[in-house]
């Protein structure tokens, strides 16, 4: 059984459930093969509870994964860090309700429990062998002294200072640094029909870019008995391997659309990390539709500061909302909600720029923010915009995603004879086939004088291309 400690140094380094599959990636490739077989609940501090849960990593690559365990030296920041998150699905809304600081990995055990492949163990604590597994208990993942801040980690490259500078070795009350959740977000009396999900993410220092998108796994949680001023969690079902928890939204609601939004180079290779955008549109059967968006930052190192959705200025937009996460235990980020406004045919949410405040409430890695409103426009496929937060020389500051958005109002085209909101060759052919009609009820009568003649033809031609 693993316990926190320091091992001798080893040799140096020369949408749907995903099925388990062998087939090694180039280089090390760390995945979360199992999680939450045990969930620890810590005593409440006022209305806030804290949790931690078991995680098991598995190296499905074709090279050993680095797991350096030391406190001093240039290579001590060469081990994975582990994030834990909790989400709730309630009334069609998928929201993040909990997050914790990061468990820093130590001493890979090379267990023979990977669900794929044949283990090739490495005898050193500083390496996780090929198809070898490594387990951290719920207690270890909640051990405060070994937990570091998210704010110091680049989630795409895996770089961070070690020893970390914020909270090194610090302990505190029962919820300090741990995955914190407000009681009211779990209380069964306040959350009828709600579903809960845990998520584990490993950020590694030695994976190739192509192997950095499968380090997240989720599992369904169930609310248990009252415990320590709050409620315990159990788990049910198996882990959803190599998937972020936002996939649970779609798994439990067929009306949800999910799209990956990646920062890519000119060759189509990922360069800064991934967002996942989810959308659900609900017809209220009264001429309005509810639009619910969830934007998850899996590991985009620049983060996001702006989200905009097309909404024409004449649309009636109500019930505008925003939901974010609560950082804690000394993380430096400002928790101010994003401002929202209507301008230029767009509905925009945004926080401060990086230049204005480097610690602004950007959508950082391992977090999910929600944007919502009601509109008197039905859905259509359109483009939303994600504005990136941290600057990057020569890289675009905006990402575009195609997903459901409110439709623009129908265009009033004077020559539209077939009712499809444009004036084109179909309308022209209808008029020509009706040319010379008189006596009323003429299909091509655009000027309402009871016949189809050259005046109607000129009206159509002057409007040709409308829409």
Residue range 8-26, pLDDT digits in tens: 323 222 222 333 344 567 8
Among the listed residues 375, 443, 444, 364, the one whose alpha carbon sits nearest the alpha carbon of residue 405: 375
H-type alpha helices, 189-329: 246-252
Among the listed residues 305, 327, 402, 426, the one whose alpha carbon sits nearest the alpha carbon of residue 102: 327
Task: List, by residue range, all CATH 2.60.40.290 domains of the chain.
Answer: 255-409
- What 3 state SS string does 340-353 have? EEEECCEEEEECCC
Residue range 122-158, pLDDT digits in tens: 999 999 999 999 999 999 999 999 999 999 999 999 9
Cα-based angle 222, 227, 228 (whole degrees, multiple of 5): 140
Tens digit of each residue's pLDDT, the chain (467 residues): 565 543 332 322 222 233 334 456 789 999 999 999 999 999 999 999 999 999 999 999 999 999 998 888 888 999 999 999 999 999 999 999 999 999 999 999 999 999 999 999 999 999 999 999 999 999 999 999 999 999 999 999 999 999 999 999 999 999 999 999 999 999 999 999 999 999 999 999 999 999 999 999 999 999 999 999 999 999 999 999 999 999 999 999 999 999 999 988 888 888 999 999 999 999 999 999 999 999 999 999 999 999 999 999 999 999 999 999 999 999 999 999 999 999 899 999 999 999 999 999 999 999 999 999 999 999 999 999 999 999 999 899 999 999 999 999 878 899 999 988 899 999 999 999 999 999 889 999 999 999 999 999 999 999 999 98
Kindly report the CATH number that applies to the domain delimited by 255-409: 2.60.40.290
Contact 340, 309 (CB under 8 A): no
d(CA 238, CA 58): 16
Our CA dihedral for 264, 270, 274, 276, rounded to 10 degrees, sits at 70
């Amino acid at each position: 059984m693993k316990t926190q400690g320091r091992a001798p140094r080893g040799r140096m380094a020369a949408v749907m459930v995903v099925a388990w599959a062998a087939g090694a990636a180039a280089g090390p490739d760390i995945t979360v093969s199992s999680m939450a077989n045990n969930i620890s609940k810590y005593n409440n501090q006022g209305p806030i509870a804290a949790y931690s849960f078991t995680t098991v990593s598995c190296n499905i690559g074709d090279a050993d994964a680095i797991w350096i365990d030391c406190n001093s030296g240039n290579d001590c920041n060469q081990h994975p860090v582990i994030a834990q998150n909790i989400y709730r699905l309630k009334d069609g809304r998928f929201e993040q309700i909990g997050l914790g600081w990061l468990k820093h990995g130590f001493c890979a055990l090379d267990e023979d429990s990977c669900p794929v492949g044949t283990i090739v163990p490495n005898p050193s604590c500083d390496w996780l062998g090929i198809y070898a597994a490594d387990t951290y208990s719920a207690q270890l993942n909640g051990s405060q002294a070994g937990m570091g801040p998210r704010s110091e980690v680049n989630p795409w490259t895996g770089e961070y200072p070690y020893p970390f500078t914020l909270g090194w070795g610090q302990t505190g009350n029962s919820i300090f640094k741990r995955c914190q959740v407000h009681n009211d977000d779990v209380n069964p009396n306040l959350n009828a029909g709600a579903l809960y999900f845990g998520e584990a993410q490993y950020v590694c220092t030695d994976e190739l870019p192509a192997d950095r998108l499968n380090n997240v796994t989720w599992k369904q949680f169930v609310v248990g008995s009252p415990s320590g001023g709050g409620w315990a969690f159990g788990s049910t079902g198996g882990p959803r391997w190599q998937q972020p928890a936002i996939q649970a939204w779609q798994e439990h609601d067929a009306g949800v659309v999910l799209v990956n939004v990646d920062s890519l180079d000119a060759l189509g290779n990922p360069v800064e990390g991934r967002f996942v955008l989810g959308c659900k549109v609900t017809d209220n059967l009264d001429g309005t539709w509810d639009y619910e968006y969830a934007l998850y930052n899996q590991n985009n190192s620049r983060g996001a500061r702006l989200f905009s959705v097309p909404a024409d200025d004449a649309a009636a937009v109500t019930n505008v909302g925003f939901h974010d996460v609560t950082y804690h235990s000394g993380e430096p980020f400002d928790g101010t909600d994003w401002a929202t406004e209507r301008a230029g045919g767009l509905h925009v949410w945004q926080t401060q720029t990086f230049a204005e405040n480097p610690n602004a409430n950007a959508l950082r890695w391992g977090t999910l923010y929600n944007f919502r409103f009601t509109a008197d426009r039905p859905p259509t496929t359109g483009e939303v915009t994600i504005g990136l937060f941290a600057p990057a020389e020569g890289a675009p500051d905006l990402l575009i995603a195609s997903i459901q958005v409110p439709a623009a109002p129908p265009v009033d085209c004077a020559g539209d004879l077939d009712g499809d909101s444009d004036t084109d060759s179909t309308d022209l052919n209808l008029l020509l086939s009706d040319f010379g009609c008189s006596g009323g009820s003429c299909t091509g009568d655009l000027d309402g004088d009871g016949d189809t003649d050259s005046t109607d033809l000129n009206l159509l031609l002057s409007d040709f291309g409308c829409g």
